[in-house]
Amino acid sequence: MEYSLKQLASIVGGSVQGDDSYLIQGLATLQSAGPCHLSFLANAKYTSQLASTSAGAVILNPASVESFVGNALVVDDAYVAFAKLTHIFEKKSSSSGGVHPSAVIAGSAKVSPSALIGPNVVVGENVVIGENTVLGANVVIGDESVLGDSCEIKPNVVLYHGVRLGHRVRIHSGSVIGSDGFGFAPMPDGWFRICQLGGVIIGNNVDIGANTCIDRGALDDTEIADDVIIDNLVQIAHNVKIGRYTAIAGAAGVAGSTVVGERCTLAGGAGIVGHLQIADNVHITASTMVTKSITEAGSYSSGTPMMPTSEWRKNAVRFSQLKDLALVIKKLDK
Amino acid sequence: MEYSLKQLASIVGGSVQGDDSYLIQGLATLQSAGPCHLSFLANAKYTSQLASTSAGAVILNPASVESFVGNALVVDDAYVAFAKLTHIFEKKSSSSGGVHPSAVIAGSAKVSPSALIGPNVVVGENVVIGENTVLGANVVIGDESVLGDSCEIKPNVVLYHGVRLGHRVRIHSGSVIGSDGFGFAPMPDGWFRICQLGGVIIGNNVDIGANTCIDRGALDDTEIADDVIIDNLVQIAHNVKIGRYTAIAGAAGVAGSTVVGERCTLAGGAGIVGHLQIADNVHITASTMVTKSITEAGSYSSGTPMMPTSEWRKNAVRFSQLKDLALVIKKLDK
Amino acid sequence: MEYSLKQLASIVGGSVQGDDSYLIQGLATLQSAGPCHLSFLANAKYTSQLASTSAGAVILNPASVESFVGNALVVDDAYVAFAKLTHIFEKKSSSSGGVHPSAVIAGSAKVSPSALIGPNVVVGENVVIGENTVLGANVVIGDESVLGDSCEIKPNVVLYHGVRLGHRVRIHSGSVIGSDGFGFAPMPDGWFRICQLGGVIIGNNVDIGANTCIDRGALDDTEIADDVIIDNLVQIAHNVKIGRYTAIAGAAGVAGSTVVGERCTLAGGAGIVGHLQIADNVHITASTMVTKSITEAGSYSSGTPMMPTSEWRKNAVRFSQLKDLALVIKKLDK
């Protein structure tokens, strides 16, 4: 796996400054790159690293070209060019489809001949598996679920029954799609379970991390729109709808029936309570708890700043007196 | 699967207003129901939706009957009646018990003939599996564990050794019951692991979501009482005790040795630190961090309200000065 | 499994007060111990329980010896002695290595003859499995991964390709090591995935809980140093580095490229945002959100104290006015 800068430039639509026959074997950060590596500068605040890098070549935006004397691949957006080239250097498993003999596939399932079904996979009745879709080892697909083309389902993922995935959906290991929503009616003698009769619909190009949960709907479906990206350990409750292009970072959670708009971001650990409406282009900062609907685009936060615990205790105790302190201020102000 | 309103009324103990021979094929929300569906109105604030619904019939409380001119199933508690009818319309897998040929069952295990053991299931030594219990694909049951009757263990669940489940326990995919509690003694040259010699006891009618963890006890058992319901991605640490009827929502956590009372609720993302006592009928709101024991029933909260980030920053910086601000107020008040 | 106090004293390096031939069958807490049990007092605040315990013997620090009249095992550190003895009383599976016939092992993998490979395990190309390492049922090991000696990988763990574990690494069920970091370049028509070309390196003696995620690096590796302990449901993002002896409790999270020092502790639910540096010996309290680098050892906190919700609401609303209240105070103070 070796590419000349000229070849790489043609892939990302850039030009070469320096030796365009220079051979590149991989990508690396400015700090760890060696002469066989192509690196990149996407953020001007790291410009000083150009002086000390051992990279054989660097992907640069036009504005940075003058800061570097070595070989450079000059492009409009160095970060996007880097992102594209990661696909060149990713190791692909060579496979031409087929079903591992240990897999258990229901007779009524329709599996594309180009799909690759790993060891110990279990596929239920009437399931449809699209072209070039890959099911890793120990994946379980419930009855009536439908997977589009070119999906990658990593080992130990479970899709319950009636889950529908679009094309090019990637789901990392341990994630569970379509488990029961948390729905129970309170009764004098305990919780009466509400069977979750809805399903889950996931659009095209959706990327889901590891150990994430997306529950099936109570009656209607839980819906993840096209081009949504979701990180690890995320909780999506029943009947949530996530709008297109929205990104949800690790350990965030969205409670039941909440509708999140398009192009939103939820940072790590953020939570949204149930039955809310979140507008498009809303950004929720890390660990923020959203307890009411948001009707305007923008960035939203909650919480308090971190500080040394001894100092924090003294401020925190005053938080408990804030109502009374405010009354005193009011009185004094009069 | 088609039922007349008369049949459904007899199941839930209600009466029909309108055509009691009207045939229902499924349940749906007021907004998405069609003529073949039965819907329900459980919350008076949605009464206006009765005017526009296309539902063939609606489950109503007596107080709402006059608001609707179509077919109605009139019951004391519309939500409970709806919950009951979800069980009528849930698709059941038809199965009469049996062990999939790919399952690996220890010779000393006692598996009820009416139990259903899925593909690639692994059952350890001296395990007992009760009547009509279902183990989904790839479930692993450790040595000496005991499962009661009519349990549903979904695909890819792991029960370690020495875990005891009552009857009618449901555990969703990816959950891990009986992994080691996080117990280590600090030593000059590192952490010395404390073997976790206790087990986990789970009562009857307990429902556990997906990717939840319940650790085994250090010496005594971790205990989940009857009728507890637990959502996805919940962390229950070693030697925790959860009281009867308590409900724990998604991504909540309870640290080691804490005892939670009966009929409590932990909302999503709530956390309780270790070695605390929480009284009965305590309700913890979303994302609240509980750092001291609670001796009185009631609702408890922590955190700050969400607001636009620019505004939040200005308030948050003042939180850091709260101790000093309070001193100034005190001085001025004198 | 029965030991005299004399035998146990020789194992932990202590002395016996009372009958050193007394036989012990197990360990138990002071409250639940019976005559066949050895208990321990590690924290002086439980000294009163010595009077009422039915334990056959108790492990005591020298300072507590006079408080107890029964058989005692006297040691310098009762907690460490207890920790050591848990290893005596833990049930070990008897196994002499071997590969279960249902396991699927790539021809190029090098598996030590003393390793134990459970049912339905899948091992990829060029994997190396060290001596006495145990892979539980349904474990999946990706291509090119290397596991040292005496590792314990519990059922349903997934290691992606290119993950390297040291010796004596334990990973509990459901954990996923080496899934893709959450890296996407924003493009006008959606998120462009950045292939995660780095790996994960985990040192010796690392203990990882259940359903935890450690992502592979984007270019460089994600690194967990020797002697780190990690609890359940923890999120470690790409290119994070965790220093030696650091402990991370349940549901904590560390975002991308953050470097955590040595001998730190993250309590349950704590979160650290990306690209930060955390010094050695830093302790983060439960649910604290760390949004800036920490350069000095010590304890750090954020959040507000829990209180009854009705009271909390009144204080929380004043938090939203804190900036303005501070201005009034300033004005009045002048």
Judged by phi (left if over 0) then psi (alpha if -120 to 50, else beta), residue A20 lies in alpha
Judgement on whether residues C79 and C103 belong to the same structural domain of the protein: no
Judgement on whether residues A64 and A155 belong to the same structural domain of the protein: no
Give the number of C-alpha atoms closer than 13 A to the C-alpha of residue C227, restricted to the C-beta side: 17
- The domain tally of chain C equals 3
Contact A50, A64 (CB under 8 A): yes
Among B70, B89, B108, the domain-final residue is B89
Judgement on whether residues B235 and B293 belong to the same structural domain of the protein: yes
Judgement on whether residues C80 and C108 belong to the same structural domain of the protein: no
**At residue B285, does pLDDT exceed 90?**
yes
Render pLDDT for B140-199 as a digit per residue (tens, 0 to 9): 999 999 999 999 999 999 999 999 999 999 999 999 999 999 999 999 889 999 999 999
Q: Which one of A37, A167, A172, A238 is the catalytic residue?
A: A238
Question: Looking at chain C from residue 249 to 268, which residues have their Cβ under 8 Å from any Cβ of chain A?
Answer: 251, 253, 255
Judgement on whether residues C285 and C207 belong to the same structural domain of the protein: yes
Judgement on whether residues C285 and C320 belong to the same structural domain of the protein: no
Contact C240, C259 (CB under 8 A): yes
Residue C218 belongs to some domain of the structure: yes
What are residue C114's phi and psi, to 5 degrees?
Answer: -85, -5
Judgement on whether residues C113 and C242 belong to the same structural domain of the protein: yes
- Minimum Cα–Cα distance from B324: chain C residue: C326
Residue B229 belongs to some domain of the structure: yes
Residue C305 belongs to some domain of the structure: no
Q: How far apart are CA A325 and CA B181, in angstroms?
A: 43
**pLDDT band, residue B95 (cuts 50/70/90):** low
In degrees, rounded to 5, the angle at the alpha carbon of residue A288 between the alpha carbons of residues A282 and A292 is 65
Contacts of A301 in chain B (CB under 8 A): 306-309, 312-313, 316
What are residue A121's phi and psi, to 5 degrees?
Answer: -70, 145
Identify the CA nearest to B275 among candidates B263, B288, B286, B290. B290
Contacts of C180 in chain A (CB under 8 A): 172, 209
Identify the CA nearest to C200 among candidates C177, C180, C181, C234. C177
Render pLDDT for A141-200 as a digit per residue (tens, 0 to 9): 999 999 999 999 999 999 999 999 999 999 999 999 999 999 999 998 899 999 999 999
Q: Which of C140, C302, C332 sits opposite A137 (nearest CB)?
A: C140
Judgement on whether residues A190 and A233 belong to the same structural domain of the protein: yes
Residue type, B142: G
Question: Looking at chain C from residue 142 to 181, which residues have their Cβ under 8 Å from any Cβ of chain A?
Answer: 143, 156, 158, 160-161, 174-176, 179-180
Judgement on whether residues A150 and A188 belong to the same structural domain of the protein: yes
Return the pLDDT at B75.
Answer: 97
Which of B299, B319, B330 is the mutation pick for testing A, counting most A CBs within 10 A? B319
Q: How far apart are CA C259 and CA C242, in angstroms?
A: 6
Mean pLDDT, consecutive 10-residue stretches, chain C (334 aa), reads: 96 97 97 97 93 97 94 96 95 79 97 97 97 97 98 98 98 98 94 97 98 98 98 98 98 98 98 98 98 98 97 95 92 88
Return the SS3 of C264: coil
Judgement on whether residues A124 and A215 belong to the same structural domain of the protein: yes
**At residue B16, does pLDDT exceed 70?**
yes
B191/C227 touch (CB, cutoff 8 Å), yes or no: yes
Expressed in angstroms, the distance from the first to the final Cα of chain B is 77
Contact A100, A87 (CB under 8 A): no
Residue C268 belongs to some domain of the structure: yes
Residue C25 belongs to some domain of the structure: yes
**pLDDT band, residue A92 (cuts 50/70/90):** confident
Residue B230 Cα, gap to closest chain C Cα (Å): 15
Mean pLDDT of A205-212: 98
Burial class (CB in 10 A: 0-12, 13-18, 19+), A221: buried
Burial class (CB in 10 A: 0-12, 13-18, 19+), A106: middle
Return the pLDDT at C94.
Answer: 63
B220/C268 touch (CB, cutoff 8 Å), yes or no: no
Residue A329 Cα, gap to closest chain C Cα (Å): 7
Among B89, B121, B145, the domain-final residue is B89
Q: CATH number, domain at C66?
A: 3.40.1390.10
Return the pLDDT at B97.
Answer: 79
ipTM over 0.90 threshold: yes
Expressed in angstroms, the distance from the first to the final Cα of chain C is 77
Q: Is A100 a catalytic residue?
A: no
B43's CB contacts (< 8 A; 6+ apart) are none
Render pLDDT for A303-313 as a digit per residue (tens, 0 to 9): 999 999 999 99
**DSSP string over A269-327:** T-EE-TT-EE-TTEEE-TT-EE-S-B-S-EEEE-S---EEHHHHHHHHHHHTTHHHHHH
Return the pLDDT at A97.
Answer: 79
Contact C140, C155 (CB under 8 A): no
Residue B46 belongs to some domain of the structure: yes
Judgement on whether residues B171 and B230 belong to the same structural domain of the protein: yes
Judgement on whether residues C117 and C165 belong to the same structural domain of the protein: yes
Helices (H), chain B: 5-12, 49-52, 78-89, 309-319, 322-333
Among B39, B56, B89, the domain-final residue is B89
Q: Which of C193, C197, C288 sits opposite A207 (nearest CB)?
A: C193
Residue C83 belongs to some domain of the structure: yes
A21 touches chain C (CB under 8 A): no
Return the pLDDT at A94.
Answer: 64
pTM above 0.95, yes or no: yes
Domain membership of residue C55 as a residue range? 3-89
Residue C94 belongs to some domain of the structure: no
Residue B86 Cα, gap to closest chain A Cα (Å): 5
Residue A175 Cα, gap to closest chain B Cα (Å): 8
Contact B201, B183 (CB under 8 A): no
Average pLDDT, chain A: 96
Q: CATH number, domain at B188?
A: 2.160.10.10
Q: Rounding to the nearest 10 degrees, give the CA dihedral for residues C242, C172, A139, A155.
A: 30
Render pLDDT for A105-124 as a digit per residue (tens, 0 to 9): 999 999 999 999 999 999 99
**pLDDT band, residue A1 (cuts 50/70/90):** confident
